[in-house]
């Protein structure tokens, strides 16, 4: 099957600055894929190349088998991008904008699909409101609607829930998950790593323009062997026996974070606290998650793709 997105030896340089450094990446049709990285890692540059907004210095990029440079029209028909920035035309209302956007793709009589998008994104009561009068969260919903108006098989969501209220996040993800179940490929960039972990199966992490991690989230989380024991105690004076563990004090909430590798260590730690007469006010055990993988990867001097 033709990959939904395929980039080979892709690079982008701005003078002495290398935004993308010879990356290879393949995303299969029907995937819900996370593209993660710190600010400046190259995510937006990659998305801009896929969308045909900038040209790569070298290498190739394809969407549904079509080259983003030589077959731009075919690529654009098959790709919907929700940008990170709030870009909108202030002279139209919401419905007019979506009808006009449909026209860009040669789609006439798109009212039924537009109505469904408006309903699913909770924009139906704003259909005839000028875009200038909308809040930031509402404008972001319109951007999402614009990206979906031509029913593209590949959807790229660049920080789609930034500045969006909790209710919209839930309804948005329900809508996008349904699109994914219907066969649409979804690529997500987000700083809310819990969203990526809950929604996506595979993830690529970019660092300084390079893909440094590429694997399933399940496999990546499995590589983190440390658990974190969170304790709120009756005193700030810890027994000497805890020196055998890495203990970090978090002033927020007066929490102690103790790294452990085996569940059996918990009883030893609790015994040391009981012997010292220290009362445990609260106790939690946190399992490793995608955030742990991300932090560890970003801290490494030279991460190696998995």
Mean pLDDT of the chain: 89
In the block, tokens 């028909």 appear at: 77
pLDDT at 23 over 50: yes
| 74-129 pLDDT per residue, tens | 999 999 998 877 777 778 899 999 999 999 899 999 999 999 999 988 899 999 99
* Structure confidence at residue 226 (pLDDT): 80
> For the chain, what is the radius of gyration of the CA atoms?
23
Query: Exposed, middle or buried, 30 (CB in 10 Å: 0-12/13-18/19+)?
Result: middle
* Structure confidence at residue 28 (pLDDT): 97
Q: Which residue segments constitute the domains of the chain, with CATH numbers given?
A: 5-221 (3.40.50.300), 226-287 (3.30.70)
* Structure confidence at residue 301 (pLDDT): 53
0.85 cut: is pTM over it?
no
* Structure confidence at residue 30 (pLDDT): 96
* Structure confidence at residue 253 (pLDDT): 66
| 229-276 pLDDT per residue, tens | 999 998 888 888 888 888 888 876 678 889 888 888 999 999 999 999
Structure tokens, 293: 């993988």
* Structure confidence at residue 122 (pLDDT): 86
Burial 175-197 (b: 16+ CB within 10 A, else e): bbeebbeeebbbbbbbeebebbb
Question: Where does the pLDDT of residue 306 fall: very low under 50, low under 70, confident under 90, or very high at 90 and above?
Answer: very low
């Amino acid at each position: 099957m033709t990959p939904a997105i395929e980039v080979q030896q892709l690079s982008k340089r701005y003078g002495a600055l290398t935004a993308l450094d010879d990356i290879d990446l393949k995303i299969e049709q029907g995937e819900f894929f996370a593209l993660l990285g710190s600010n400046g890692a190259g995510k937006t540059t990659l998305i801009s190349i896929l969308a045909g907004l900038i040209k790569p210095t070298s290498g190739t990029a394809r969407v549904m088998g079509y080259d983003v440079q030589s077959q731009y029209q075919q690529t654009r028909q098959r790709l919907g991008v929700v940008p990170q920035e709030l870009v909108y035309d202030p002279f139209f209302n919401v419905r007019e904008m979506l009808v006009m956007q449909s026209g860009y793709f040669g789609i006439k009589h798109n009212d039924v699909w537009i109505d469904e998008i408006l309903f699913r994104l909770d924009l139906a009561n704003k259909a005839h409101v000028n875009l200038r009068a909308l809040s930031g969260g509402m404008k972001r919903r319109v951007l999402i609607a614009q990206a979906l108006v031509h029913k593209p098989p590949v959807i790229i969501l660049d920080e789609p829930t930034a500045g969006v209220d909790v209710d919209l996040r839930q309804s948005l993800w329900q809508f996008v998950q349904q699109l994914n179940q219907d066969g649409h490929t979804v690529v997500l960039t987000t700083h809310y790593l819990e969203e990526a972990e809950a929604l996506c199966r595979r993830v690529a992490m970019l660092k300084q323009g390079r893909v440094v991690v590429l694997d399933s989230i399940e496999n990546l989380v499995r590589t983190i062997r440390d658990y974190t024991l969170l304790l709120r105690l009756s005193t700030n004076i810890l027994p000497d026996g805890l020196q055998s563990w890495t203990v970090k004090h978090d002033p927020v909430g007066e929490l102690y974070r103790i790294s452990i590798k085996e569940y059996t260590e918990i009883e030893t730690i609790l015994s040391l606290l009981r012997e010292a007469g220290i009362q445990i006010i609260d106790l939690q055990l946190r399992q490793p998650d995608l955030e742990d993988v991300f932090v560890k990867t970003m801290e490494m001097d030279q991460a190696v793709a998995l």
